[in-house]
Amino acid sequence: MKTNSNRLLALDVLRGITIAGMILVNNPGSWQYVYEPLRHAQWNGLTPTDLVFPFFMFIMGISTYISLRKYNFSLTKDSVGKIAKRTIVIFVLGMALSWLGLMLRQGFWSFENLRIMGVLGRLGLCYGIVSLIACSVKHRYIPYIIAGILGVYLIILYAGNGFAYDQTSILSIVDRAVLGLNHMYNDNGIDPEGILSTIPAVAHVLIGFWCGKLIMNLDNIHEKIEQLFIVGVSLAFVGYLLSYACPINKKIWSPSFVLVTCGMASSLQALLLWIIDVKGRKKWSRPFEVFGVNPLFIYVLAGVLATFGGSAQGFVYKEVLQPVFGNYLASLVYALLFVTLNWAVGYNLYKKKIYIKI
């Protein structure tokens, strides 16, 4: 069975699921009342919330393979220009979102506490580094590069007390030396999107890139699904085995975290291919497709709306939802309403076939 022109719908749907999840967990009615599955693990461990960001990075790896094919994976003036532009734009957008919140609280020139890294910063850096690797290295070496990166990072963690949840960790030491404490998301002195933890995140995106190669270079849809399931189950199995020596930890982006989450993402992508492309069941996926075709734009939009809508959030949650639903459920209902608001904007763009690329 050959794949048809809709073969990438499953990728848009998975991307949309992750964007919806990121907006949902980032915007509760009250941070005081959040159901445990919608919180990040405090340190070691894995919750459903810990999956959304790594899933998006995995998908970015697949998308990077698809987008660089037209340049034949070569470093040309056009390809380097696109890579540099997209890397800078995504990184600057991340700092701009951070600055907006500071501006409202501390004034226009509030740069002394500006967070340099962050979700978009990590996405931009990893996209740029992975793209340069993909255009300068023969692809058959990529699995070895992934293994080498994760191996070196594991050595760094062991040698530098990297599993400590305090400022004695090598991750904290490097972030404070390079970024400065005022420019970090200070979680016990550790930035969850810090300098050193970006190293395994590059390997994370490279795994997605390799899976993108599988998807695009196989013609038979059943072979695509089979290979993605094999990769997914293998990575998750190895990751869980490794977790006995290297805990699964999102905040330090541990090698076991990379393997387990990439394994889950690959398996879910295979499942969506089977549901959408083989079984032809697509109607249910339309809401997620809306998020998936304009993912970064909607994510940035959600950040802007959340920043400027603080007073409205308090009113809706405390005065409208809390008296009806109670603390926890009202907090969740608010998050769902906020996701719906962003979806409405995305749907208007989707209906007009407007795709905003960042």
DSSP per residue over 275-341, as a string? IIIIS---GGGHHHHHHHHSHHHHHHHHHHHHHHTHHHHHHIIIIIIHHHH-HHHHHHHHHHHHHHH
Helix (H, G, I), strand (E, B) or coil at 149: helix
Can you state the angle between helices 327-351 and 286-293, rounded to 10 degrees?
A: 70
pLDDT of residue 2: 37
Q: Which residues contact 276 (CB under 8 A, 6 or more apart)?
A: 6, 9, 10, 13, 282, 285
- State the pLDDT at residue 313: 85
Q: Enter the tokens of residue 357.
A: 């690329």
The parent domain of residue 94 ranges over 9-23+55-351
Taking 70 as the pLDDT cut, the residues of the chain under it are: 1-7
Greatest Cα-to-Cα distance within the chain, rounded to the nearest angstrom: 60
State the pLDDT at residue 6: 41
What pLDDT, on a 0 to 100 scale, did the predictor assign at position 312?
86
Domain presence at residue 13:
yes
Element (H, E) at 2: none
- Per-residue pLDDT at 3: 37
- pLDDT for res 194: 92
User: How many domains does the chain contain in total?
Assistant: 1
Q: Does a structural domain hold residue 226?
A: yes
Q: Is residue 37 part of a domain?
A: no
Helical H runs in 37-76? 49-68
Q: Is residue 50 part of a domain?
A: no
Find tokens 């769902």 and name the residue: 336
Report how far residue 110's alpha carbon sits from residue 94's, in angstroms, rounded to the nearest whole number: 16
Is 46 inside any structural domain? no
**Cα(first)–Cα(last) distance of the chain, in Å?**
34
Domain assignment present for residue 321? The answer is yes
In a domain, 280, yes or no: yes
**Confidence (pLDDT) at 86:** 94
Give residue 356's pLDDT. 87
What pLDDT score was predicted for residue 357? 80
Residue 70 lies in a domain: yes
